[in-house]
């Protein structure tokens, strides 16, 4: 695939990013797409490796390795190298319903499992994927696909995130009449309100939603299933229901001072910011404003990084992100071999911006917050922390111990809690009567069926907080099983 010796002749090139300081003045995407010439070189680096691990889509020791939707990566890399863009688009869309999303916000486990990455930087798979779909839209190749026949079957999908949208897309193409219910005022789930504009501009999401509407899918917003419409009503009106509600129950921080003014969940912060941006370009003032404030983000993941980037654009006075684990190594550790996803130190877009603004990486590693302290008016004033030492016991379990003498007090006006999610919200699940295991819907992988006939589940609601590619994978899988349930057989992949 690609040029036989391309991986030896060409080096990996990264998508060019806008200047870190100048991009803090707007909410536009921070990176530029590759030029066609660069893309041809990057496609040429895809070697004829015999067994392409990049699209295996497995979990190894809890880490996603390869592409869960099994994108035909070597094939479209080769087509891009040869300048056959339309053919590359056709191959890409065989497995991926929404490459304009994954090409922007997926962490690219495919690249960690690229064969070239055994000894050299991986093929720039994610950038090539984004370029293919963007060119497809620019050239007018992406057109509505109107199903020729309808089956007469009706399906309701609860939740419009990537799992729900992928499920809706597949079922609609199978000829079923699909209605997607979303409690927010816009379609997209975390694609719309959980991922900031600078990573995924919302016109990209809205463009796909318009296309799905043209293809025949009905979207109903501002409607919370379980309140505005009951589970029994849905089950009586539709032949099948698919629960794609996500895992939106945020994990809270049990700590002294949690109740103080200025302590917020990260997702509330990100959602309100994006909603205000889209509704009024912030004129409505209906958002948490970090302007001229000392901001601390508790939690070392991507959601926390997005809080850092958002606070920077709001012109915060300072921003720090606390993580419980040590900094990752610069190279793969011995216990993290290829083709596992590489656990290595990187400078995310948000950290690059913070370093340019304040002169240092905002992350603090192996740190624990002991308490939050407020002023006489009940507002956050400071955080008290201590450094931790991480080790492992005889069973391989992580053990954290405080390091005496490392106590520190941090001035603070805003605290954002970004320590993950507990799972799906329970009331709607209880109303449907579906069984849960560890708060997640009990629906076996591959079947996606619940204990309630005709009710299915997919995505984070079933598997817990995960990657967008797993959500698309599960949405497609659930659609296949719903089609089989409705028709007795299925041709869906």
* Largest separation between any pair of C-alpha atoms in the chain: 72
Instruction: Point out which residues pair with 249 in neighbouring strands.
Output: 423
Instruction: Point out which residues pair with 242 in neighbouring strands.
Output: 157, 456
Model confidence pLDDT, tens digit, residues 450-489 = 999 999 999 999 999 999 999 999 999 999 999 999 999 9
Read off the pLDDT of each residue in 63-72 and give the average, rounded to a whole number.
95
Read off the pLDDT of each residue in 91-112 and give the average, rounded to a whole number.
97
Torsion over CA of 253, 259, 265 and 270, rounded to 10 degrees? -160
Assigned domain for 148 exists: no
**Total structural domains in the chain?**
3
Q: Assess whether 313 and 272 both reside in one domain.
A: yes
Assigned domain for 464 exists: yes
Give percent of the chain with pLDDT exceeding 90: 95
Assigned domain for 287 exists: yes
Query: Cα–Cα distance between 286 and 262 in angstroms, integer?
Result: 15
C-beta of residue 270 within 8 angstroms of C-beta of residue 306: yes
Q: Assess whether 112 and 18 both reside in one domain.
A: yes
Q: Assess whether 393 and 435 both reside in one domain.
A: no
Residue 327, domain extent: 252-419
Domain boundary among the residues 378, 393, 419 is at 419
Indicate whether 412 pLDDT > 70: yes
pLDDT of residue 3: 86
Model confidence pLDDT, tens digit, residues 308-341 = 999 999 999 999 999 999 999 999 999 899 999 8
Nearest to 332 by CA among 117, 489, 144, 493: 117
Query: Cα–Cα distance between 104 and 201 in angstroms, integer?
Result: 10
pLDDT of residue 124: 96
C-beta of residue 368 within 8 angstroms of C-beta of residue 388: yes
Q: Assess whether 181 and 112 both reside in one domain.
A: no
Q: Assess whether 412 and 328 both reside in one domain.
A: yes
Q: Assess whether 378 and 313 both reside in one domain.
A: yes
Query: Cα–Cα distance between 75 and 94 in angstroms, integer?
Result: 12
Assigned domain for 272 exists: yes
- Return the CA Rg of the chain: 23
Q: Assess whether 230 and 378 both reside in one domain.
A: no
C-beta of residue 341 within 8 angstroms of C-beta of residue 63: yes
Q: pTM of whole model > 0.85?
A: yes
Q: Output the six-digit token pair for 342.
A: 């590489």
Q: Assess whether 244 and 257 both reside in one domain.
A: no
DSSP code for 161 = S
Q: Assess whether 122 and 170 both reside in one domain.
A: no
Assigned domain for 303 exists: yes
Q: Which residue do the tokens 């994990």 mark?
A: 251
CATH number at residue 223: 3.50.50.60
**C-alpha pair distances (Å), 142 with each of 97, 169, 212, 226, 443:** 12, 14, 11, 36, 34
Domain boundary among the residues 419, 447, 462 is at 419
Indicate whether 1 pLDDT > 70: no
Q: Residue 163, exposed/middle/buried by CB under 10 A (0-12, 13-18, 19+)?
A: buried
- Phi (first) and psi of residue 391, to 5 degrees: -145, -175
Model confidence pLDDT, tens digit, residues 203-236 = 999 999 999 999 999 999 999 999 999 999 999 9
- Phi (first) and psi of residue 341, to 5 degrees: -60, 130
Q: Assess whether 265 and 381 both reside in one domain.
A: yes
Q: Assess whether 162 and 202 both reside in one domain.
A: yes
Q: Output the six-digit token pair for 183.
A: 């409690």
Query: Cα–Cα distance between 217 and 214 in angstroms, integer?
Result: 7
Confidence of residue 48 (pLDDT cuts 50, 70, 90): confident
Give the count of beta carbons closer than 10 Å to the beta carbon of residue 139: 11
Query: Cα–Cα distance between 20 and 351 in angstroms, integer?
Result: 10
Assigned domain for 472 exists: yes
Assigned domain for 468 exists: yes
CATH number at residue 20: 1.10.1060.10
Residue 145, C-beta contacts closer than 8 angstroms, at least 6 positions apart: 173, 215
In 335-378 the beta strands, taken as DSSP E runs, fall at 363-364, 367-374
Q: Assess whether 244 and 256 both reside in one domain.
A: no
Q: Give the mean pLDDT of the chain.
A: 96
Report which secondary-structure segment, H or E, holds 127. Answer: helix 125-138
Assigned domain for 144 exists: no
């Amino acid at each position: 695939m690609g040029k036989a010796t391309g991986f030896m002749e060409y080096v990996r090139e990264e998508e060019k990013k806008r200047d870190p300081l100048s991009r803090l003045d707007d909410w536009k995407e921070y990176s530029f797409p590759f030029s066609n010439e660069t893309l041809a070189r990057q496609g040429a680096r895809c070697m004829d490796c015999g067994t392409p691990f990049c699209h295996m889509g497995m979990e190894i020791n809890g880490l996603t390795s390869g592409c869960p939707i099994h994108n035909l990566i070597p094939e479209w890399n080769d087509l891009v190298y040869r300048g056959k863009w339309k053919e590359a688009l056709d191959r890409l869309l065989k497995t991926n319903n929404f490459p304009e999303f994954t090409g922007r916000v997926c962490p690219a486990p495919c690249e960690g499992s690229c064969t070239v990455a055994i000894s050299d930087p991986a093929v720039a798979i994610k950038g090539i994927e984004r370029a293919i779909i963007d060119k497809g839209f620019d050239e007018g190749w992406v057109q509505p696909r109107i199903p020729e026949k309808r089956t007469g079957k009706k399906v309701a999908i609860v939740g419009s995130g990537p799992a729900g949208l992928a499920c809706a897309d597949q079922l609609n193409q199978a000829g079923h009449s699909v209605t997607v219910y979303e409690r927010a005022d816009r379609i997209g789930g975390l694609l719309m309100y959980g991922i900031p504009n600078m990573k995924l501009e919302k016109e990209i999401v809205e463009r796909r939603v318009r296309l799905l509407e043209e293809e025949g899918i009905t979207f109903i917003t501002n409607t919370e299933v379980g309140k505005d419409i009951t589970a029994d009503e849905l089950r009586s009106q539709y032949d099948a229901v698919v629960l794609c509600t996500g895992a939106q129950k945020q994990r809270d921080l049990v700590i002294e001072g949690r109740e103080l003014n200025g302590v917020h969940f990260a997702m509330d912060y990100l959602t309100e910011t994006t909603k205000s941006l889209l509704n009024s370009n912030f004129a409505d003032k209906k958002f948490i404003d970090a302007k001229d404030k000392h901001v601390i983000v508790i939690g070392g993941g991507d959601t926390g990084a997005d809080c850092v980037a958002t606070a920077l654009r709001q012109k915060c006075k300072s921003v720090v992100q606390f993580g419980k684990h040590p900094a990752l190594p610069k190279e793969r550790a011995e216990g993290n071999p290829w083709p596992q996803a590489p656990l290595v130190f990187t400078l995310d877009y948000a950290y690059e911006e913070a370093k340019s603004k304040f002169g240092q990486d905002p992350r603090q590693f192996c740190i624990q917050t002991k308490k939050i302290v407020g002023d006489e008016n009940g507002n956050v004033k400071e955080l008290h922390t201590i450094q931790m030492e991480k080790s492992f016991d005889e069973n391989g379990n992580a053990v954290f111990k405080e390091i005496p003498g490392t106590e520190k007090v941090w001035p603070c006006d805003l605290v954002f809690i970004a320590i993950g999610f507990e799972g799906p919200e329970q009331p709607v699940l209880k109303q449907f009567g579906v069984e849960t295991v560890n708060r997640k819907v009990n629906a076996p992988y591959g079947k996606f069926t619940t204990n309630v006939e005709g009710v299915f589940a997919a995505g984070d609601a079933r598997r817990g907080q995960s990657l967008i590619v797993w959500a698309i994978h599960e949405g497609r899988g659930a659609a296949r099983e719903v089609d089989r349930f409705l028709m007795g057989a299925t041709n869906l992949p």
